[in-house]
Amino acid sequence: MDWGRKAAGLFLLALFAALLMNDTVQSYLKIPNQITTFETAAEYFKKAEKDEDWKVTDITPSSAAVKAGMLPAKRTEINKIPELRVIPGGQSIGVKLQSKGVMIIGFHDILSDGRRYSPAEEAGLEAGDQIIEMDGEEIKDLEDVVKMVDNKEKNEIKVKVRRKQKVIEKKIPLHSEKDKKVMGAYIRNAASGIGTLSFYEPDEGKFGALGHVIADADTKKPISVDNGKVMKSSVTSIERGSDGKPGEKQASLSRDQEPLGNVTKNTSFGVFGTLSPDKLNEREPMPVAFADEVKTGPAKILTVLEGEKVEAFDIEIVQSMPQMKAASKGMVIKVKDDELMEKTGGIIQGMSGSPIIQNGKIAGAVTHVFVNDSSSGYACHIEWMLEEAGIDTFQEQRNNAAS
C-alpha cells in the first residue's frame, strides 16, 4: 500500500514537472496579471504576440484577454503611463536674478586706531553670506542696507545672515568714514548670465534652462533667487574655443523688451520658472527619453550661433551613465559637426542648456565643456531637469513597470 502511494506520488510529480517544462505552460505562466507601460494595450500585446506566442483577444483600453495554446484565457490589467512631451528649446536667453537678501562678495579695510581691518570680517561674516535682516528689519536690496547703516545712531548693528542652510546672527561695529558709516564689506544682490533654453512645457508654462547653477562671479556661491527674469537674447559673435581655453557666445539683450518669463529656482541643474507662451516661437512638443532609454551613438543639439536662429548640429553620445538619482553629469558628449567645430571649436560658454535630441526624443541638455578637450563635455539627462521644474515624470509608475 505504501509502495502504491509512493508510486502515485512520483507519477504526479513527474507529470507536474513535465507540464512545467511544456512550452505552452511556460508561455501561460509568463502572462502578467498587470502591466504598467507607456504603450496602449494594443501596442504592447502586438509585440507580445510575436515574442511570447500569445493569442490576444477582447482588448479594451484598460485590459486584454490573453491565451497560450489551448489553456483558458487570462485577463491582464493595463496601467498606461501618460506619454510625457515637452517643447525642445535651443533659443539663446539672458537671465537676470535678484537674490534673497544681499550677498557679501568681499571685504575692504578701514583705518582705525592705527590699524587696518574689516569690522564685518572680524565679526565673523564670510564672503557668500546673505544678509537677510538688520536690527530686526528685513533686508531685500542694497538700498535697505545703506539706509540701515547710515541711519544708525549707535556704532553697532545686529545682522542676521544665511550661510548655506543655517541662519547666523552677528554684531558688527560700524566705522564713521567721510560723514557716513561703513561695516567694511562689499555687497551685491543681482547676477546675470547668457545661456540656452532647454525645454518648455506648454500645459503649465514651466521651463528649464542652462543645465547648471548661476553663481556669483566673485564668491562662486549659488545665487538664492528672490525673483528673476528670462529675456530673449541675440548672439552677436562667437569667441572660438580651443583646448585649454573655452570659447564663448557674445550676445545682446534689448533694454526695452518685455521678459519672456520669471525665474523661481536656481539649482545645480539650471534655472527654472514659467514662460509666457505668446513670447515664444513654439515648435511641436516632443517625447521625452528617460535615462534608461538614452543610448551611445548619434544625436543632435539645438543651439544658436547667429542672431536668434536655432540650428541642429551633430554630436555623439559617447557615454550615458545609469543613474538612480539626480546628477548633473549623466552623459559624455562629443561634437561631430564640422560646421560647429569650425565656428566654435566645440562646446562653448553660452551653449549650456542646449537640448540634446536622440531618435526623435529630447534626451538631455549640455552642461559643461572639458577644459582640455573643447570638442567634448558633459550633459545631464532631461528627466532630472523636468523634476527640478516641478513636472511629473511618473517615476513611481516607471519603477513599477521595470520591476
Name, of 44-53, 82-91, 393-402, the range with top average pLDDT.
Answer: 82-91
CATH superfamily membership of 281-398: Trypsin-like serine proteases (2.40.10.10)
- Where in the chain is CATH 2.30.42.10? 109-183
pLDDT at 118: 92
Find the catalytic residue in 352, 354, 374, 375.
352
In terms of average pLDDT, the best of 173-177, 257-261, 364-368 is 364-368
Residue among 92, 212, 233, 375 flagged as catalytic: 212
Annotated catalytic residue, options 92, 144, 337, 376: 337
Give pLDDT tens digits for 102-112: 999 999 998 88
pLDDT at residue 369 tops 60: yes
Domain 109-183 top-level CATH class: mainly beta
Average pLDDT, the chain: 84
Q: What percent of the chain has pLDDT over 70?
A: 81
Q: Rounded to two decimals, what is the model's pTM?
A: 0.78
**Mean pLDDT for the stretch of residues 262-285:** 86
Q: Please state, in angstroms and rounded to a whole number, the distance separating the CA atoms of residues 232 and 248.
A: 18
**Which pLDDT band holds residue 19 (cuts at 50, 70, 90)?**
very low
pLDDT(295) > 50: yes
The yes-or-no answer on residue 352 being catalytic is yes
- Is the CB of residue 400 less than 8 Å from the CB of residue 37? no
Q: Where in the chain is the domain with CATH 2.40.10.10?
A: 281-398
d(CA 329, CA 315): 17
Higher pLDDT, 383 or 114: 383
226 in catalytic set: no
pLDDT at position 122 = 92
Task: Please confirm, yes or no, whether 381 is among the known catalytic residues.
Answer: no
Least confident of 57-66, 97-106, 294-303: 57-66
Given a cut of 90, whether residue 357 has pLDDT beyond it is yes
Q: Per-residue pLDDT tens for 219-266?
A: 888 888 888 999 999 999 999 988 888 889 999 886 667 889 999 999
Residue 196 has pLDDT above 80, yes or no: yes
Q: With 70 as the cut, is the pLDDT of residue 145 above it?
A: yes
Asked which of 12-21, 315-324, 340-349 is least confident by mean pLDDT, the reply is: 12-21
The reported pLDDT for the residue numbered 29 is: 67
* pLDDT: which is higher, 33 or 92: 92
